[in-house]
Structure 1
């Protein structure tokens, strides 16, 4: 690596200072003017060369560290995207964000600051100690006596720094959690006039982060003067003993040798401080790297078999055979669920909250694997199908539509970035979205804002439907796609859904009667089991759970529809 080579050159040139200092002092004492001139020019040249290599080492190593940080960020983000939904059930958003936004910069900045020093420090220290032995082995032994004390102090400080660094990461993760949560929930906070409560909560977490940082600052602040005291002690001992050798007429030891020896001692002391800082920084990096690589080492439980089935365009047949499922706590959500959906058939899932409707929908695109039984598409167990090709054939319109930052066009073609303008427009027309899009000042170039909040719920939902139409899936999953809309918006979205469902296998999690009536068959779930199956009229006539749900949830809708008709 060129940057490391430059660092070695800089260290070697720096290590020569003591030898040069000895020669300069000796030339002065001997009155050698020409030798002094040559030494002066040589020192000037040495500093020019050192400056060139110092610039190169800083630039090249910084570039390498920035690329490393970029690759780590990309790897962390890509890995997070590859993990299954089960992974996110017990993870806080701030925790994952801090791994990318806090841990990676900590590693990069710390390594960048210490990599050069970790090369130059030991080289300078070793070269200086060799020079000291050449000048006076007696004084060198005197200096070496303090090394064990120095090592013990650095080791103790390093252990405390690692604990402090881990606490810093955790406290700033808490700050990130609160910030993300309160920004996302700002409407709720304002509706309850809870701004001061949340501000106080943020201040408390921020103060905890401050305390954690100051604990690490105390360690570092105490280490520096301690090492300086040890270095100064060595310097004073050398000055005293060297002066004694000169005044006592010790042969072979001159003022120049003493000056060179003092410079070398000073370099060893500076290198010692540098190595101490490196030790503390390494402990800090260890805490950040531990969290980051724990994330990167997390394995997905949705594994593909070798040579999986690859769907080009599936028929759309969906089958559940004695399927059971439970989340991480082990509580069964689905128990012995079996049903089939023929290609092009529309099936509605109905039941009370917690009955397992959304879980059924999540098993089809293999967001989770069942804990028992088999989920099949076109006769193939989804665990034997390439995940990417399976999900390419499935379109999902959720209850709460998420639009990404960008414009309307980008959001419609999210599943097909290569789509043409005509295809985008035709999808919007089919989704009953083209008219309102055309009325916007910038049309399809209109920014939707974060999560699409500049648009109404009905408009966001129709864009989501246009997105699904453009994807042209064989299997469609509607997760209560109209339940949060007003009557006018629901009518527009319902018309768009009718277009979307034509010729596609559809599994709809039903909430409103108007949606259920579009289904050819209705499955009623309760307690994770299918308790009824049939058409709307058949289930009403049975007088069982569906009829009770109808009475509770849907009669008011029929009454409202009748009043509007009158």
Structure 2
């Protein structure tokens, strides 16, 4: 019932469409039920009169029936067209809600879930929900009207025959409910398996350059084949259950017709039923059976839509791990003074990454973090914009706990340049403007010049309108890195995080980018995560992170003089190159 209430909630914006759809369904059902009654009246009354009187009234009867079926045409058109429009709009609302929820989730959610599976919930699951949203109430309403209406009219013709019909119908309903439970399980399994197929496709296509570089196309085919066959198995199970479901119901329908024929013949022989009544009774049997057929076919649609909506609700009812607390205030007039107080952190149930780290960074200061991979450098940076929340202690900006300010204002105050730069499929202009979506042309060009990328852009045939390709595949690593720096220049944050921004570049690209980064860092509080120690000599302070804590700290010269861990790393990189 909880899921049903949440489903009904999506009808609220379209109540006008919904009620009109139901009214049209009522009109269509009434017209369908009226025809056998009209035929019954004509055969009993009009058609027993003289030929002249019959012919004189046929024109009026024909005109009345044409008007009646024109009204039915209008009602059916509305049901089919605007009913589907209502379903499509509800699907669109659900898709927007699901996408918005994905945007609210923190990094930890994406650490646990696969993009392909999330795409499956966003696309294929919601299509079946849309069909259910449109056809569900309509099918149930029309079928209920026709079943109860025709049943009442059948009782008026012959009570005994109708009671026999009722018993067989109840057996049919019991059979349907039993099969329905089996279908619910198998359709939910179908959803999971197709999501796994989508996950495998997304993973393989995203890493296609790695696949081809290792000549592992056959391996990817085998992995996909495994997921594909698992999905096929569940589809075969569903079709076997559907086969028994439809075949069983067809058998019961045959029993109904057989019962009508045999019992009708018996009651005619007894003199309690007229032949004309049996003909009308047979017409109502058709009307009685048609909605049962509709409900039988709807059962499959319902189970698909229900399982899809259940998966949808599992996501939209999940509380984001990181969100604005009640009463959170915007972070205003940022100076850039940072403080880590007794900060501890661990990912889920894994070992602790940081253990009671204490660190203060003055506004406008540049601090470099160095140390072994996995030591917690990137994690320490990720706690500042609340990509993850501390498990102990507090992170403060200008004396305010980052958990007490709004996420939007916090992240607007922080600019990040990473080693793995993401470029959106679009133009160079659009990618730079991502740092400030309402930026003008002059601002974009100024940001590109500050990042040492303007001249390269102007050398392209389409300049700033050049297409970068998916994930920036048409650009080199250095070019993507400079576009990312231009993006941050445009954002103009007070706090800057440079996470190994030059570690994967050649020497020439590194020189260009290092100059851009130095220009970007001026006047900003900057945290630099670096493996190339040559890039951090001029940092105000260098902090060596090891085993979840601070091992050493000081200037470049002071740390070398100490001849500790930093000196060891430095000599490993430059031994033999400098005296």
TM-score (normalised: structure 2):
0.93
Q: Which residue of 2 aligns with 1:103?
A: 125
- 8 A contact 2:180–2:299 mirrored in 1: yes
User: CA offset at residue 31 of structure 1?
Assistant: 5.0
Q: Which residue of 1 aligns with 2:474?
A: 454
Q: Which residue of 2 aligns with 1:120?
A: 142
Match of 2:342 among 310, 314, 322: 322
CA distance in 2 between partners of 1:259 and 1:24 (Å): 13
Once the two structures are superposed, residues 441-470 of structure 1 have per-residue CA deviations (whole angstroms, 9 ceiling, x without a partner) of 111000111111110000000000000011
CA distance in 1 between partners of 2:258 and 2:326 (Å): 71
CA distance in 1 between partners of 2:440 and 2:411 (Å): 22
User: CA offset at residue 283 of structure 1?
Assistant: 2.2
CA distance in 1 between partners of 2:361 and 2:381 (Å): 13
> Is it true that 1:552 corresponds to 2:572 in the alignment?
yes
Return 105-114 or 185-194, whichever deviates more: 105-114
- 8 A contact 1:413–1:424 mirrored in 2: yes
User: CA offset at residue 37 of structure 1?
Assistant: 5.2
User: CA offset at residue 263 of structure 1?
Assistant: 1.2
Gap change, CA 1:422 and 1:191, over 3 Å in 2: same
Correspondences of 1:251-290 after superposition (within 5 Å):
253-290=273-310
CA distance in 2 between partners of 1:336 and 1:205 (Å): 44
Once the two structures are superposed, residues 406-438 of structure 1 have per-residue CA deviations (whole angstroms, 9 ceiling, x without a partner) of 101111110211111111111110110101111
CA distance in 1 between partners of 2:221 and 2:230 (Å): 14
Q: Which residue of 2 aligns with 1:216?
A: 238
> Is it true that 1:234 corresponds to 2:252 in the alignment?
no
Equivalenced residue count is 557
Q: Which residue of 1 aligns with 2:378?
A: 358
- 8 A contact 2:104–2:323 mirrored in 1: no
Q: Which residue of 2 aligns with 1:66?
A: 88
> Is it true that 1:398 corresponds to 2:384 in the alignment?
no
Q: Which residue of 2 aligns with 1:201?
A: 223
Q: Structure 2 stretches of 5 or more lacking a match? A: 1-18
Match of 2:175 among 140, 153, 173: 153
- 8 A contact 1:28–1:36 mirrored in 2: no
CA distance in 2 between partners of 1:284 and 1:335 (Å): 48
- 8 A contact 2:323–2:407 mirrored in 1: no
Match of 1:84 among 93, 96, 106: 106
- 8 A contact 2:147–2:288 mirrored in 1: yes
Q: Which residue of 2 aligns with 1:428?
A: 448
Q: Which residue of 1 aligns with 2:25?
A: 7
CA distance in 2 between partners of 1:57 and 1:162 (Å): 27
- 8 A contact 1:20–1:260 mirrored in 2: no
- 8 A contact 2:90–2:133 mirrored in 1: no
Return 17-26 or 342-351, whichever deviates more: 17-26
3-state DSSP class of the match of 2:80? helix
Return 16-25 or 281-290, whichever deviates more: 16-25
CA distance in 1 between partners of 2:385 and 2:479 (Å): 26
CA distance in 2 between partners of 1:24 and 1:429 (Å): 89
3-state DSSP class of the match of 2:193? helix
Match of 2:364 among 344, 347, 355: 344
Match of 2:74 among 52, 57, 72: 52
Q: Structure 1 stretches of 5 or more lacking a match? A: none
Q: Which residue of 1 aligns with 2:511?
A: 491
CA distance in 2 between partners of 1:158 and 1:284 (Å): 11
Return 277-286 or 152-161, whichever deviates more: 277-286
User: CA offset at residue 28 of structure 1?
Assistant: 7.8
User: CA offset at residue 138 of structure 1?
Assistant: 1.3
Match of 1:43 among 45, 65, 70: 65
> Is it true that 1:388 corresponds to 2:408 in the alignment?
yes
User: CA offset at residue 36 of structure 1?
Assistant: 5.4
Gap change, CA 1:408 and 1:518, over 3 Å in 2: farther
- 8 A contact 2:435–2:487 mirrored in 1: yes
CA distance in 2 between partners of 1:145 and 1:387 (Å): 63
CA distance in 1 between partners of 2:237 and 2:287 (Å): 29
- 8 A contact 1:350–1:524 mirrored in 2: yes
3-state DSSP class of the match of 1:174? helix
- 8 A contact 1:86–1:368 mirrored in 2: yes
CA distance in 2 between partners of 1:116 and 1:402 (Å): 46
CA distance in 1 between partners of 2:191 and 2:263 (Å): 48
Correspondences of 1:130-145 after superposition (within 5 Å):
130-145=152-167
CA distance in 2 between partners of 1:45 and 1:258 (Å): 28
Gap change, CA 1:310 and 1:114, over 3 Å in 2: closer
Return 20-29 or 264-273, whichever deviates more: 20-29
Correspondences of 1:385-534 after superposition (within 5 Å):
385-534=405-554
- 8 A contact 1:321–1:375 mirrored in 2: yes
Return 34-43 or 193-202, whichever deviates more: 34-43
- 8 A contact 1:427–1:466 mirrored in 2: yes
Gap change, CA 1:247 and 1:39, over 3 Å in 2: farther
Q: Which residue of 1 aligns with 2:389?
A: 369
User: CA offset at residue 149 of structure 1?
Assistant: 1.2
User: CA offset at residue 553 of structure 1?
Assistant: 3.2
CA distance in 2 between partners of 1:206 and 1:383 (Å): 44
- 8 A contact 1:313–1:474 mirrored in 2: no
Q: Which residue of 2 aligns with 1:171?
A: 193
> Is it true that 1:20 corresponds to 2:38 in the alignment?
yes
Gap change, CA 1:555 and 1:413, over 3 Å in 2: farther
- 8 A contact 1:24–1:36 mirrored in 2: no
- 8 A contact 2:375–2:547 mirrored in 1: yes
